[in-house]
Structure 1
Amino acid sequence: MSRWHLTGWVFDVIPGPGGMTVWFRTEAGETVSLSAPFSPSFVLAGKNLGEASLRAASARWKCSLTQGEGTEFFSGNAIPAWTFTVAAPALLGSTVRKAERAFGPEALFNADIAPEQQFAYATGLYPLSHARVECTGDDGTILSFRILDSPWDIDAPRPCFSTALLRTEGKGHPAHGRIRPLEITAGGITHILQWENGAEFLRELLRLLEEIDPDLLVTEYGDDYLLPRLLALAGRLRVPLSLGRRAANDNIRRAKERSYLSYGRVVFLAAPHTLSGRWHVDARNSFLFGETGLPGLIELARLSGIPLQRLARTSPGTAISAMQVATALRRGILVPYKKREPEEFKSGVDLVVTDKGGLTYLPRPGLHENVGELDFASMYPSLMDRYNISPETINCGCCRPGFPVPEIGAHTCVRRRGLVPETIAPILSKRRLLKERQTATAFPEERDLYRKRQTALKWLLVVCFGFLGYRNARFGRIEAHEAVTAWGREKLLAAKEIAESCGFLFLHGLTDAIWVKRQGAAAEDYRELAERITEKTGMPIALEGIYRWLAFLPSKRNPSVAVPNRFAGAFSTGEIKTRGIAMRRSDTPPMVAALQRGLLERMAAAETLSDLRALLPELREIVRCAVAELYEGRIPPEALAIARRLSKAPEQYVANTAAAAVTRELCGRGVTLRPGSKIRYLLADGKGRAMGFLDGNETPDFTRYEEMLREAEKELLGLIGPTAT
């Protein structure tokens, strides 16, 4: 039997009939399909399970059974555990459901970990790992392997990946308008294909894909429109459609679409369409790709063990949860199948004390100059790491009083390291190193690479705190969440008192940041303050920047009261920072956002408040010109488009709003809309008109658009001086 020795990277891992299909990118640049025998497993554990019934069940389900012990998460005690190993990855889900019906969900552990993640955790062949493999020459079965790097390496070698972009001409969702030509772009060359050419259109698309041979196929609305339409067309014309790399079992794998609620917002996730031997990422169906690009996806795939295509369509919370699962498995902790730890009873008085959240001050509306902003670095994750805050360590019974949590009467364990802080500690360290590299490098491409990688880790740290209090998180517990916010309030209050003791005027505080000023203070004074706060609190805080001027903007309902997260300012570098204004909102027409950006860019040149006020006539002229362009018809419809996200099913809209009218128009034209779908429309002819079906004869509602411009003007210039009515 001939054998190959290959060195390269794990490109993708896909469950197969008898194990895992491993797509491997060799150092020579070839992407080959290998196979790895692997049988996933799950665990039934508990003192009340009978061995006879377990062995009978394993025989019925054709599983191998291994008896052992596992560690119960909250108590840390060892309990009897039986591992059921299924014959093939495809059998895992159905066998787990049988076990749940037979023994109940409380007896199930390690039961909903995807086979490809189990494979990564068991073998170390995580996505994009660098490895040397020995395999058979006839069928590519992996016989042995050696891992050559670690997911935590900063400078692990990585191959270059080629990319192609597949989209339709124009803007907006292609299903929400008339049929538009298909574009495929690679290497700076764009090819245009016409749908009406039918079979020839499909053959030309496949020819171009084979010629370009991209590692990554980026699409716009690929999951929701392009690939379903291509598959339907290919099925109707009976043309084989293989968008992945050629292989005997090549196909397009599809999962279910879904709508879900995230932080009070309804989100629609289109049905994922993933390929074999080639990555497909829908840029319109991937938050992580939009935030971090391919470098960020690679970073998170390496750390979480989730294959890149699936990771692209999940949230950062899914990635941090996968990392917590990996930590648990390494420590022999049994991963609960479903959350089963209820919130402890609290009286009304207890809730008032514990359920406060982050500390937020209410700034007075107004303009300030020479203001320093100091931010605690990854405050909540750092607190979780420093004070060992984890679901199983909060109010533990093994070391009372333990380490007391301020204000709320809780404590954390001092005897065992919590699972959550053990998971996030290396993330904090790696992100700090990546940020240092980002600052130190003189090369823009390297700086952008480090920025995307550390941004990916930032999102892990952002969501790890939220998952502590998430009701469905398997490693969540609201008491741990409350302990983090209690420590956060303590640290922010300490920072305020230290700043005031050093002669600074405290202007604002928001969860993990403070804004202070002192007459004549220089950058060195603010840095010394940051060092003093770090020393006194034990928590690193850094100078984010010094504002030339900073405006805390008033509430629209009560002008005498400011809003905590609504401000605009210009740093001494000329960089602009804004929160909560029109240009930051996704439903603001591009024309209105462009006006505010133009105003702020001009305002950023002002060194002092006097300079800023002197600019008022010029700023008013910018607004006047924008309004004139609007009425003269020089603003294209795309710049007037308003975007909305549907919060419910289309048939549930009863009010006669512009968005509801557009929803009815699109549904009447055969467009499928779900809760969380986005629509775009123009205010014209007294109603909303879907952007994709405009015919050029519409008359925009100039009065309403002018109102938006005036409101955007007032938002920024209202504190400087009177604005037009």
Structure 2
Amino acid sequence: MPETIEFMLLDSSYEIVGKEPVIILWGITLNGERVVLLDKRFRPYFYALISPSYEAKAEYIASAIKRLSMAKSPIIESRVVDKKYFGRPRKAVRVTTMVPETVREYREAVKKIEGVEDSLEADIRFAMRYIIDKKLYPFMAYRVAVEETEHSQGFRVSKVFNIVGEPIPIADITSIELPEMRILAFDIEVYSKKGSPNPSRDPVIIISLKDSNGNEKLLEADGYNDRSAIREFVDYIRNFDPDIIVGYNSNHFDWPYLIKRARRLGIKLDVTRRVGAEPTTSVYGHVSVQGRLNVDLYDYVKEMHEIKMKTLEEVAEYLGVMKKSERVLIEWWRIPEYWDDKKKRTVLRRYALDDVRATYGLAEKLLPFAIQLSAVTGVPLDQVGAMGVGFRLEWYLIRAAYDMNELVPNRVKRYEESYKGAVVLKPLKGIHENVVVLDFSSMYPSIMIKYNVGPDTIVDDPSECEKYGGCYVAPEVGHRFRRAPPGFFKIVLENLIKLRKQVRAKMKELSPDSPEYRVYDERQKALKVLANASYGYMGWTHARWYCRRCAEAVTAWGRNLILTAIDYARKLGLKVIYGDTDSLFVAYDKEKVKKLIEFVEKELGFEIKIDKIYRRVFFTEAKKRYVGLLEDGRIDIVGFEAVRGDWCELAKEVQERVAEIVLKTGDVDKAIEYIRDVIRKLKEGEIPITKLVIWKTLTKRIEEYEHGAPHVVAAKRMRDAGYEVSPGDKIGYVIVKGRDSISNRAYPYFMVEPSRVDIEYYIDHQIVPAVMRILSYFGVTERQLKVVSAGYRSLFDFFASKA
């Protein structure tokens, strides 16, 4: 007998049973039971777009398509439907078959039929097709009629149901307490004395675990035999039964290593909720663990451009999870040393435990946003982080297209096309006090909405504008967009912005300390990310809704907007110091800034707000290059930073400290003395070699490099010493003394005694160049840093002398 259950959706997949596809929904009931819901009724389909001149023969074409039917997966329906394609009414044939894998085969055959312009939506994966059509979103709650089945289908869940009705969203989800999810963080340590660990040879010596019940555990190899540790890992996951598994760079190291290592040892890595299934690398490079959501936190950290060094310990410190000074740090190449010496194993255990604690702490920071991003886009949590921003927006657009009866364009291979970008003013060189940064809120999405920009609203013939109530014409480039009716992108963006406003309005009713507030805050961030991606998406050559002219028009309107704002600011008597894309830097006069904001919002129709206030900011003549001291005392470095792979940690550290000194004190002499002290410490061996390591990634096999760059030479030396190196490995090297070229003096840092390091190289090519990026603009010379006393008492004296 049918019953009704209420559940939260986690993920979707499918299997072929017999010759029929079965949709699998993984979920948690609102009373906390882990369940599987099966839908055996849904079938794969795609569309054949009929050429306009053949629309009268649509039924004939549908019949011709039906005759392509194959016994292995019959075409069970071929019917003519009315759809829209790029906003225009079109006829298409919806082709439905049995086995999802045959859709691509039919797609190619259908395109050969006379009168068929193209096959569309054949590349939308079957499980995603289902949740799109049924309007299902991860981490949302639904009510559905089901029938319980015999629990003999190989699922590790409390109950298995067959879906017999249509899932209905539970209207006010905030009034329902959603079930708590079980979360497990893990990290592995590998024993390798020969460079990059090799799963066919090197054992997993420690697997560290921390779960949402507060349990922490280290699973250790028996000496160099890791069979028991990996088996214990399988047992732990099966017993704890996590809904979400988190790691750091786990999609590209921990999981692939464990999968290959288990296979090498003949162990079945049976950790999924589907009995007998093992983790596999899936689309977007993520590792799929059926029935569980595997999340690589590194995917989200990669997008945090403000974090320069993205190692686990650096990120954990930056996000306030764990200070580096309060945890154990061991270089990866020294792990065998700590494992071999039983007296040192205690330290290695603490290191492994700190790693997994940091990973779990990052999950607490990052998962709320990731979950909301999944809920907003409709993409399962294990995939949404691994895919790029463009793909996230695209899945949102595909759902919107389904709701609007729009056909989804195919992804087409295209060559990169350039177009004129945003306005970047030449800055007023020097030090400026009390500077406000005004930021146009969501400038590009707002332009797209105001001027109805999209690939479906372009008007090529000016005479056609009249029938649309006129056209918006982009300045400079002249592209026209109809005024009405609203296009696909305008509707989507208006909905996104409306949703975000509703969420933010709800936040005002809640206490900032409440869990509900935090959920809404992460939701509004996810909506903002999607809206802001829309302009870049149109100019992305991999986009289904690619439109170079649209992107070009948006930047043209953007340039016009910021130049108009700059002109008005100057009329008000505001000193304009710099302008970049959607930001203006002006001297902070409260009343005049208020008038500028009113002009932009009332006269130009765009929202602008105060983003930052600098107590002091320094500009060179170069664009996109400045250093600012924020009101809270933080240093903001843009364009100067030594962030390339060929800078050592000391160079980065010194540069930031110099910026802090000159902006907080205005004292050039003090900055110079600081540099001299660093140079002295270098020469006297007081700075650890780890701060001098330069990291660079091998992007191809050593043999494929034509020229011996330093990291390539260092990698060869590692290989010659018996270490295995391969593409993707990060090579850490230092430069040693000698008269050879710099490349020939590059050695793996763990093979070098500190006394061999070429200190003069680090002074001349690392420390001094890093700080001269800032100090040279104040008349400081390299010679002053190394030998002579400072020539200026302060930055202000310097600029006064130039006046």
TM tier relative to shorter chain: 0.7 to 0.9
Contact kept? 2:30, 2:178, Cα under 8 Å: no
Taking the aligned partners of 2:682 and 2:3, their CA distance within structure 1 comes to 67
Match of 2:234 in 1: 206
Query: Counterparts of 1:691-702 in structure 2 under 5 Å?
Result: 694=751, 699-702=756-759
Please state if 1:473 is matched with 2:473: no
Higher Cα radius of gyration: 2
Larger deviation, residues 712-721 vs 654-663? 712-721
Distance 1:413 1:504, change over 3 A: same
Deviation at 1:450, TM superposition (A): 5.8
Contact kept? 2:12, 2:128, Cα under 8 Å: no
Please state if 1:358 is matched with 2:422: yes
Please state if 1:41 is matched with 2:45: yes
Please state if 1:532 is matched with 2:535: no
Match of 1:567 in 2: 626
Please state if 1:642 is matched with 2:699: no
Quote the sequence identity (%): 23
Contact kept? 2:75, 2:97, Cα under 8 Å: yes
Deviation at 1:435, TM superposition (A): 6.4
Query: Counterparts of 1:143-162 in structure 2 under 5 Å?
Result: 143-149=164-170, 158-162=178-182
Please state if 1:243 is matched with 2:271: yes
Match of 2:209 in 1: 185
Distance 1:149 1:140, change over 3 A: closer
Contact kept? 1:154, 1:430, Cα under 8 Å: no
Distance 1:287 1:442, change over 3 A: closer
Taking the aligned partners of 2:247 and 2:193, their CA distance within structure 1 comes to 12
Larger deviation, residues 372-381 vs 188-197? 188-197
Deviation at 1:276, TM superposition (A): 1.3
Residues 403-429 of structure 1 show CA distances to partners (whole Å, capped at 9, x for unaligned) of 222232222112221112222223234
Q: Secondary structure at the residue paired with 1:399? A: helix
Contact kept? 2:733, 2:748, Cα under 8 Å: yes
Residues 151-198 of structure 1 show CA distances to partners (whole Å, capped at 9, x for unaligned) of 9x8898654433332223499999735957333231373515238323
Distance 1:5 1:587, change over 3 A: farther
Q: Secondary structure at the residue paired with 2:80? A: strand
Contact kept? 2:48, 2:111, Cα under 8 Å: no
Q: Secondary structure at the residue paired with 1:204? A: helix
Q: Which of 68, 71, 79 lines up with 1:57 in the alignment?
A: 68
Please state if 1:228 is matched with 2:256: yes
Residues 361-406 of structure 1 show CA distances to partners (whole Å, capped at 9, x for unaligned) of 1114321111121110111111111211001102255534422222
Q: Secondary structure at the residue paired with 2:5? A: strand
Match of 1:392 in 2: 456
Please state if 1:130 is matched with 2:130: no
Please state if 1:715 is matched with 2:714: no
Taking the aligned partners of 1:133 and 1:427, their CA distance within structure 2 comes to 27
One-letter code aligned to 1:31: R
Q: Secondary structure at the residue paired with 2:272? A: coil
Larger deviation, residues 592-601 vs 168-177? 168-177
Deviation at 1:462, TM superposition (A): 3.7
Query: Counterparts of 1:445-484 in structure 2 under 5 Å?
Result: 452-484=522-554
Match of 2:163 in 1: 142
Q: Which of 26, 31, 53 lines up with 2:29 in the alignment?
A: 26
Taking the aligned partners of 1:666 and 1:699, their CA distance within structure 2 comes to 17
Q: Which of 347, 367, 373 lines up with 2:431 in the alignment?
A: 367
Q: Secondary structure at the residue paired with 2:395? A: helix
Distance 1:683 1:241, change over 3 A: same
Taking the aligned partners of 1:441 and 1:591, their CA distance within structure 2 comes to 43
Please state if 1:296 is matched with 2:355: no
Match of 2:381 in 1: 308
Match of 2:619 in 1: 552
Please state if 1:281 is matched with 2:285: no
Residues 608-639 of structure 1 show CA distances to partners (whole Å, capped at 9, x for unaligned) of xxxx32x4344334434433444444444443
Match of 2:334 in 1: none
One-letter code aligned to 1:141: N
Distance 1:708 1:542, change over 3 A: same
Match of 2:741 in 1: none
Match of 1:704 in 2: 761
Q: Which of 551, 573, 576 lines up with 1:503 in the alignment?
A: 573
Taking the aligned partners of 2:633 and 2:495, their CA distance within structure 1 comes to 34
Deviation at 1:657, TM superposition (A): 1.4
Match of 1:557 in 2: none
One-letter code aligned to 1:144: G
Q: Secondary structure at the residue paired with 1:280? A: strand
Taking the aligned partners of 1:170 and 1:177, their CA distance within structure 2 comes to 7
Match of 1:347 in 2: none
Larger deviation, residues 440-449 vs 464-473? 440-449
Q: Secondary structure at the residue paired with 2:485? A: coil
Taking the aligned partners of 2:576 and 2:225, their CA distance within structure 1 comes to 67
One-letter code aligned to 2:671: L
Distance 1:306 1:385, change over 3 A: same
Number of aligned residues: 678
Q: Secondary structure at the residue paired with 1:111? A: coil
Distance 1:634 1:447, change over 3 A: farther
Distance 1:645 1:278, change over 3 A: same
Distance 1:343 1:600, change over 3 A: closer
Which stretches in structure 1 are left out of the alignment for 5+ residues? 257-268, 345-350, 554-561, 607-611
Please state if 1:411 is matched with 2:480: yes
Residues 26-46 of structure 1 show CA distances to partners (whole Å, capped at 9, x for unaligned) of 223332222122222101121
Q: Secondary structure at the residue paired with 2:435? A: strand
Contact kept? 2:194, 2:723, Cα under 8 Å: no
Residues 418-457 of structure 1 show CA distances to partners (whole Å, capped at 9, x for unaligned) of 1122222232344456667889964398887666544444
Query: Counterparts of 1:61-100 in structure 2 under 5 Å?
Result: 61-74=73-86, 76-79=88-91, 81-100=92-111
Deviation at 1:25, TM superposition (A): 1.5
One-letter code aligned to 1:124: K
Deviation at 1:501, TM superposition (A): 1.0
One-letter code aligned to 2:390: G
Residues 343-376 of structure 1 show CA distances to partners (whole Å, capped at 9, x for unaligned) of 99xxxxxx9xxx4221121114321111121110
Match of 1:681 in 2: 732
Report the TM-score, using the length of structure 2 for normalisation.
0.76
One-letter code aligned to 1:198: D
Distance 1:506 1:695, change over 3 A: closer
The structure whose RCO (Cα within 8 Å, separation 6+) is larger is: 1
Residues 668-718 of structure 1 show CA distances to partners (whole Å, capped at 9, x for unaligned) of 7675644xx352312143633446x65767844433333322222223344
Contact kept? 1:368, 1:551, Cα under 8 Å: yes
Distance 1:101 1:66, change over 3 A: closer
Contact kept? 1:173, 1:221, Cα under 8 Å: no
Contact kept? 1:13, 1:23, Cα under 8 Å: yes
Taking the aligned partners of 2:583 and 2:174, their CA distance within structure 1 comes to 29
Taking the aligned partners of 1:104 and 1:626, their CA distance within structure 2 comes to 75
Contact kept? 1:110, 1:336, Cα under 8 Å: yes
Please state if 1:332 is matched with 2:402: no
One-letter code aligned to 2:473: P
Deviation at 1:221, TM superposition (A): 3.6
Q: Secondary structure at the residue paired with 2:533? A: helix
Contact kept? 1:407, 1:486, Cα under 8 Å: yes
Larger deviation, residues 172-181 vs 449-458? 172-181
Cα RMSD, aligned residues only: 3.6
Residues 21-64 of structure 1 show CA distances to partners (whole Å, capped at 9, x for unaligned) of 11102223332222122222101121447334211113565122
Taking the aligned partners of 1:382 and 1:579, their CA distance within structure 2 comes to 26
Taking the aligned partners of 1:170 and 1:369, their CA distance within structure 2 comes to 52
Deviation at 1:502, TM superposition (A): 0.7
Taking the aligned partners of 2:596 and 2:192, their CA distance within structure 1 comes to 48
Contact kept? 1:568, 1:576, Cα under 8 Å: yes
Contact kept? 1:359, 1:511, Cα under 8 Å: yes
Deviation at 1:538, TM superposition (A): 0.7
Match of 1:558 in 2: none
Larger deviation, residues 168-177 vs 188-197? 168-177
Distance 1:624 1:30, change over 3 A: farther
